[in-house]
Amino acid sequence: MNYYGNELSRLIEELSLLPGIGQKTAQRLAFHIIDLPEENVTRLSDAIVRAKKNIRWCRECFTLTDSEVCPICADSRRDHKTIMVVEDSRDLAAYERTGKYNGVYHVLHGAISPMLGIGPNDIRLKELMTRLRQDVDEVIIATNNSLEGETTAMYISKLIKPTGIKCTRIASGVPVGGDLEYIDEVTLLRALDGRTEL
């Protein structure tokens, strides 16, 4: 039943494909967009297109950014000898929000999962090992507390052992299976402070 006509139906359909957006919400958003002044709609669609076009991975840490090197890697006041390994850019954002971590990051873009067929070569692990040829004091493994996160942490620690670089794992005060981005800052800091050597 195409009671809205093609254009509106198409907009609702596209919106409903976004995560967490059901038919009802898609409808509400579509009506909201139609009611907006044209310049606001242009700004919104421009933001989407520009983000998609310009966002890439940082050359150093592989987080999402719009320049060759992200602002964190480009900041000389940060401790470039301490590297925190996270699964994705949202985890990095969670630690940045605490404002207490002064090192740099390495974003894996996933975790090892034999069940899903994701192996060490499918995440940015080789790139981490390349970075470790530089002067590094400590690698803090802050992958999630899920089975995949733990598997990845163990795998990385085994790779790092022979290099003699200190390798730590954040404390497991973080709920099992909990995505780092949903954990409050106090818990994150406690996990970081309570990290143990692997």
Contact residues for Zn ion, defined by CB under 5 A? 58, 60-61, 70, 73
Nearer residue to Zn ion within complex by CB, 30 or 106: 106
Cα–Cα distance measured from residue 13 to residue 171, given in angstroms and rounded to the nearest whole number: 43
Nearer residue to Zn ion within complex by CB, 73 or 83: 73
Q: How far is the CB of 155 from Zn ion (least distance, A)?
A: 22
Q: How far is the CB of 69 from Zn ion (least distance, A)?
A: 6
Nearer residue to Zn ion within complex by CB, 91 or 150: 91
Cα–Cα distance measured from residue 68 to residue 58, given in angstroms and rounded to the nearest whole number: 6
Nearer residue to Zn ion within complex by CB, 59 or 158: 59
Q: How far is the CB of 60 from Zn ion (least distance, A)?
A: 4
| Bridging pattern class, strands 56-57 and 64-65 | antiparallel
Nearer residue to Zn ion within complex by CB, 12 or 58: 58
Q: How far is the CB of 175 from Zn ion (least distance, A)?
A: 28
What are the backbone angles phi and psi of residue 179, rounded to the nearest 5°?
A: -75, 135
- Rounded to the nearest 10 degrees, the angle between the axes of helix 185-193 and helix 89-98 is 90
Cα–Cα distance measured from residue 106 to residue 98, given in angstroms and rounded to the nearest whole number: 17
Contact 143, 153 (CB under 8 A): yes
Q: How far is the CB of 124 from Zn ion (least distance, A)?
A: 12
